[in-house]
Structure 1
Amino acid sequence: MRDFLRHLFPRVVLRANLRIRYTFCLGGMAFTLFLLLGLSGVLLAFYYQPHSAAAYGSILLIEEQVFGGHFLHSLHRVAANGYLLLLFLHTLRVILTGAYRPPRQWNWLIGFSLLLLALFSGYTGYLLPMDQLALWATQTGMELVRTVPLGELFYRFMVPDQVGGPLSLLRFYLLHVVVLPLLTLLLCGLHFYRIRKQKGVLPYL
């Protein structure tokens, strides 16, 4: 935790590190959007109802009747897209610069796990509005999952009743707002800790 906080709030920053270099601070910008997603998600959760009979109506309530609700919902959606884009670019930069090589291979695996968690978070959040696009897109995705090894087991866990049913929506919601954000925050802390620990061998620090 101490290294995590020092990474976010360093007492001294070298002037050379403030220049725009090939890292572009993509990881830092992605983490900033992750925090923005958390904040906007908490505010949306005050009005969202994770039940198949009320979810779509609560989205309409947020969009049409809550003060600033349309802006907040749009901000959450745009930040999610930007978060995924920045993580993809960050991963590409790591590959192109060879920052995945030893002794940084474990941090590369942590970073790649963060990318997978972001994709899964986006997928679980896609169902929550419960409109026709969300239902059909989620149904298509879950049917594709069933074709891979252990996919049927995963399908039964995620969809115990039907896509958009009360239990499946609740599981998507809990994964999206509790489980996946906590795992992401934990891995981010470990990721930043290893970056500081290996600062002597990183070419861009």
Structure 2
Amino acid sequence: MVTVFKDFIRHLFPRMVLKENLKISYTFCLGGMAFTLFVLLAVSGLLLAMYYQPHADHAYTSILYIEEQVFGGHFLHSLHRTASNLYLLLIFLHTLRVLLTGAYRPPRQMNWLIGFLLLCLALFSGYTGYLLPMDQLALWATQTGMELVRILPLGELFYQFLVPDAVGEPLSLLRFYILHVVVLPMTTVLLCALHFYKIRKQKGALPYL
């Protein structure tokens, strides 16, 4: 099992790297940095989930407990929030780089669709996580977003699925929480694995792969 894992890790990296490709470019490995932040978000989110209570009556107080009573809690919460903002920024920049360089053209059109889905998942993950602190800003911002969703085609069905009672009520908070910590991260991991596989299969944009 250890040998298989080592072979998999070894496969992720090229056997040789050209000297000119070691120079820092304007893209600066935007996709790689975004994935690194995703891992940081997963680890920090897991630690926060050990103290967070996804209930309408206890969510806000659990956030206060994390920030005021848990050792390093305030830093951890701030790290998670800052990393989420940087994660979205890097994915936007990565998407922009793909568009400007034409990396969406054949044979990479499927990988472009996967990348676009990852962008949508990142936005939805940020939106679902915004409600979890359950402060006034989170409640009003989420309510505004859901009202905007209702005017879209099939928006009413989407609204009823996410908010079966009301924004911030027990069922809606629980659904946002499950989406944020289970469904969306797992889907992102699967799409990232497929994204990286397609890059390696298509030899990426670098000549040494």
Amino acid at match of 2:94: H
Which structure 1 residue ranges, 4+ long, deviate > 6 Å from structure 2?
1-4
Deviation for aligned residue 1:17: 2.7
Is the 8 Å Cα contact of residues 7 and 196 (structure 1) preserved in structure 2? no
1:132 to 130, 136, 156: 136
Counterpart of 2:158 in structure 1 is 154
One-letter amino acid of the structure 2 residue matched with residue 46 of structure 1? M
- Please give the TM-score of this superposition, normalised by the length of structure 1: 0.94
Matched residues, percent identical?
Answer: 79
Q: State the match for 1:43 in structure 2.
A: 47
Aligned residue among 24, 28, 31 for 1:27: 31
Tell me, in whole angstroms, the C-alpha distance in 2 between the residues paired with 1:157 and 1:108.
Answer: 29
User: C-alpha displacement at 1:20, in angstroms?
Assistant: 1.2
Aligned residues: 204
CA RMSD of aligned residues (A): 1.9
Secondary structure of the corresponding residue to residue 55 of structure 2:
coil
What is the distance in 1 between the residues matched to 2:163 and 2:8? 37
Answer 1 or 2: higher relative contact order, Cα 8 Å, separation at least 6: 1
Name which of 63, 86, 97 aligns with 2:90.
86
2:58 aligned residue: 54
The one-letter code sitting in structure 1 at the alignment partner of 2:148 is L
Q: Which runs of 5+ in 2 are unaligned?
A: none
Q: Which runs of 5+ in 1 are unaligned?
A: none
**CA 1:64–1:7 in 2, change beyond 3 Å: closer, same or farther?**
farther
User: Residues 204, 85 of structure 1: CA spacing in aligned structure 2 closer, same or farther, 3 A cutoff?
Assistant: farther
Change (3 A) 1:109 1:6: farther
Q: Which moved more, 1:123-132 or 1:8-17?
A: 8-17
CA distance in 2, matches of 1:123, 1:69: 22
- Residues 128 and 112 of structure 1: is their aligned pair in 2 closer, same or farther, counting only changes over 3 Å? same
